[in-house]
Structure 1
Amino acid sequence: MTLIIDGHNLIGTGLVPGVQLGDADDEWQLAVRLRSYTVARKLTLTVVFDSGGGAGASSNLSGSGVQAQFAPPGVEADAVILQLLRSSKQPATFTVVTDDRKLAGLVRAEGGQVRSARAFARELAPARRPATGDHEPDVNPKDPAFADIYAGFAEVDKDALRFGGDISLDADAWIERLYGSDVQEASRAAHWLGRFGGVDALEPLLDALTHRSATVRAAALLALADLGDRRAAVQIAERLAEDASSLVREAAAQALGRLGGAGAEPALQAALNDPKNKVRKTAAASLQQLEARR
């Protein structure tokens, strides 16, 4: 069996621990997690991303059994994946990991197999070490019930790297940085406020949705999803519909999938017609998240 991963679709499930669409290095983070997966299982795979890192194979992301490819500018990752199947004499040996229903149908029409991206994402969670001595009956670490726990552990590790010694600063200090002129610090501040800011973070994060920097707007959208206050859903939906930056619209689509709330579903349905493929894919994945939680 040869695995082909629909990269941004897998990230868009929101279930890959520590990896979010809208992160500046989301492709790298996924590639690192895939490398751990291939080494542990002694297999190889190909992950295909939409254009963004330069067309063709990426030596920066490839390694340890992972071959990373970016679609050429103006070409969707779906087309690259289908071409890989069509160029093979044995397409039935290929399994494509995606939750994109259109792509899944085309893969099956070419003779390939399809695997759910949501199910595959849960396999990327860290394996638990076997207990020694007396212990309760074994549990399956791949069980979906553990997905949130693993994601929580990954977030703790990520927080330590992202904030360092500043993690103990109070909310006022981070709000001041959010309104400062340093874009990188403002983005960090948004992340901190989403994780630890509580009710006092809502208004500053909503204000940040009009920041001059698309990076900060995207960080604020994901932070609002972390905050979990559904009063933000209307403003997030507005960013999804109106923001000029596809990065921001992509982050808004992911945030609505995680947060839900008033108007989330119709906003995501409308985003299925977005001119950017990444936004469309993220909207589709978020709609599936909402459906799964019903």
Structure 2
Amino acid sequence: MPYIIDGHNLIGAMPDIELADPHDEQQLLDRLRAYRARAGGRSLIVFFDSGDLPVYFPDPSTPGVRVRFSGRGQTADDAIVEFLRERAQPGQYAVVTNDHGLAERVRAVGASLIQASDFATRLAHRAVRQTPAAEAPALDPHAPAFADIYADFLEADKAHARFPDASPADFETWIEKLYGDDLEQAQSAAFWLGHYGGAEALAPLRDALTHADARVRAAALLALGDLGDPAGLSDLCERLVSDAASMARAAAAQSLGRIGDRTVEACLEEAAQSDAKGRVRKAARAALAQVRARTSFHFAPKST
């Protein structure tokens, strides 16, 4: 059974790939190729929105992992459904997505469905070569909260690797770098503040949301997600709907998916439906699914 991958939706479900990263598609394709090399057998067909592509773009398809982009004026969701309708036996395909709207459409044409969050767990487990399930803690990998736990683990691991000697005493140094002229240092400063700055980091990270460089704004938006302070939710929503750079809007959506509650659903729904960039719409949809899964998981009434 070939897998059809809703590309940006799966990226949004991956704990260690960021939709705001300009190379996120390539990272996903590398991960999928490695997965297929280990798992073998099934071919993978990955669909992406074409909105952010340059006019001339080489075909990144490789044997076993084919890549398709939506046509002009078409979304990746539409391209997936069109592809299935053109198949003589659409029931032979399984679509990987967390998008409820797309899920209904592919079921209507006879294809089966795999949750992107479940598929992301498969990829993540293979990538980090985790210990066998018998030796691991008794966690349910299908629980909506598991993706957040695993994401936090990976983020902490990456943070310690990048800043092994981090200390609260460095706070003022990183604040200076955040406001400095070196853009790479400013991005690193936002990353550090998100992981180690604590409550004092909220104000400078908010200031960085108006930085002239989109990469610094995106780094600050991701850092607000790392910081986890609910006081930053309104800032994330504001940048999601107003920032001029799709990179920053996607970063805002990703952080809202990580720390948002039901109060952010309206801004995510707006971006998911009306943002001009397919990447941002996908990020908002993935974030909306994360928020709803997390809040349902924590607050669903117990059955009697």
User: Structure 1 length normalisation: TM-score?
Assistant: 0.83
Identity over aligned residues, as a percent? 48
Letter of the 2:269 partner, please give it: Q
- Corresponding position of 2:130: 128
Of 137-146 and 24-33, deviating more is 137-146
Give how far 1:206 is off: 0.5
**What are the residue-to-residue correspondences of 1:1-294 with 2, within 5 Å?**
1-13=1-13, 16-43=14-41, 44-51=43-50, 52-53=52-53, 59-60=59-60, 62-63=61-62, 65-72=64-71, 74-126=73-125, 127-130=129-132, 139=138, 142-144=141-143, 147-156=147-156, 158-159=158-159, 163=162, 170-261=170-261, 263-271=263-271, 272-294=273-295
- 1:83 positional shift: 3.2
Aligned partners of 1:111 and 1:167: how far apart in 2? 53
Closer, same or farther: CA 120–262 of 1 in aligned 2, 3 Å: closer
Is residue 46–residue 67 contact of structure 1 (8 Å, CA) maintained in 2?
A: yes
- Whole-angstrom distance in 2 between the partners of 1:172 and 1:138: 39
Aligned-residue offset at 1:124: 1.9
RMSD between aligned alpha carbons?
3.0
Residue 120 of structure 1 aligns with an amino acid whose one-letter code is: F
The verdict on how the C-alpha distance between 1:262 and 1:210 changes in structure 2, with shifts beyond 3 A counting, is farther
Q: CA deviation at 1:89?
A: 1.9
Contact map agreement 1:55 1:71 (CA 8 A) in 2: no
Letter aligned with residue 111 of structure 2: G
Q: What is the SS of the residue equivalent to 2:266?
A: helix
Of 163-172 and 91-100, more deviation after overlay is shown by 163-172
User: Is contact 1:237–1:263 with CA below 8 Å preserved after alignment?
Assistant: no
Residues 143 and 209 (structure 1 numbering): CA distance in 2 closer, same or farther, change over 3 Å? same
Q: For 2:100, give the aligned amino acid.
A: R
Q: Which runs of 5+ in 2 are unaligned?
A: 296-304
Letter in 2 for 1:93: Q
Q: How many residues align?
A: 287
Q: Deviations over 1:209-240 (max 9, x none)?
A: 10111221111111101100111111111112
Structure 1: gaps of 5 or more residues: none
Deviation (angstroms), 1:149: 4.9
Task: Evaluate the alpha carbon distance shift between residue 97 and residue 258 of structure 1 in structure 2; reply closer, same or farther with a 3 A threshold.
Answer: same
| Higher RCO (C-alpha 8 Å, min separation 6) | 2
